[in-house]
Amino acid sequence: MARRLWMQRFARWHIWLGWLVAVPMLLWVASGLFMVIKPIDEVRGENVRARAASMEATGLVLPRLSGPVDAVALVSEPAGPTWIVRSGTAEPHRYSARDGRDLGTVSAAEARTIAAAAYAGPGRIEALRRFTADTSPLDLRKARPSWQAKFSDGTHVYVDAGTGEVLAFRTRFWRAYDLMWGLHIMDLQTREDPHHPILILFAALALAGSVIGTVLLFRRRRSPVRAAR
């Protein structure tokens, strides 16, 4: 009798928990299905990203630097090999690896050339826009001053306005994928933090409902009484 009473309670709890988590469960399943439709390399735009050109190492010149330096990196840019120098909290600087001169910040014409060289897809640049670090777009995910090159196929290529480095490739599908990811972790603001009370609460309720449903699978059911012939 007690076992039957508990099973009835479990059945009621299972129904109410099902109503509570129905919408989150649908969002998790639908968003999860969407995110596995395409290979992750295609989502990231690897199929439209050009391979970096190799550099000739002969005759490279280091810039004249003063003060402490955290890192020096050699990168390939359309204008030639370039040193990227980072020091503490100061803005990184770029220098020509041919003669060591300070190249300054990236102009609109340079950003267009860098974006076009980094892109290997069928589209063309339709718009170029500069963003400050404080107004960087959500799909960039970096608080850096940047140039956004919009291509006709929906791809966004972000070029660092200070160093000329390609910061990100964002395809049209990536932005849809990013929205689905935000729904999946229930964080539409930053789309990066799965650790928040709403997600934890609904996940706990869904787990409880699943456990109760599993227990109910073992409930004994009486065979229906056959009608007399």
Indicate whether 34 and 131 sit together in one domain: no
Q: Does 223 fall in a domain?
A: no
What's the total number of domains in the chain?
2
92 and 132 in a common domain: yes
Q: What's the Cα-to-Cα distance from 178 to each of 2, 123, 182, rounded to whole Å?
A: 49, 22, 6
If asked whether residues 13 and 96 sit together in one domain, one would say: no
- Is 140 domain-assigned? yes
Of 84 and 195, the structure prediction assigns the larger pLDDT to: 84
Name which residue leads in pLDDT, 227 or 131.
Answer: 131
pLDDT at 4: 66
pLDDT of residue 59: 86
Looking at the structure, tell me whether residues 33 and 14 fall in a common domain: yes
Residue 229 lies in a domain: no
> Residue 16 — pLDDT band, cuts 50, 70, 90?
confident
**pLDDT interval class at 170 (50, 70, 90):** very high
Instruction: Please state, in angstroms and as integers, the Cα–Cα distance from residue 10 to each residue in 4, 216, 220, following that order.
Output: 10, 7, 14
Q: What is the per-residue pLDDT for 10?
A: 67
Please check the confidence at residue 223 and state whether its pLDDT lies above 60. no
Query: What whole-number distance in Å separates Cα of residue 220 and Cα of residue 148?
Result: 63
Q: Does residue 130 or residue 80 have the better pLDDT? A: 130
> pLDDT per residue over 125-143, tens digit each?
999 999 999 999 999 999 9
CA dihedral 164, 165, 168, 170 (to 10 degrees): 50
Which residues 6+ apart lie within 8 Å of 100 measured at CB? 61, 62, 63, 64
CA distance 102 to 100: 7
Q: Which domain holds residue 85?
A: 45-170
For the full predicted model, state whether its pTM sits above 0.85. Answer: no
| Average pLDDT for 47-67 | 85
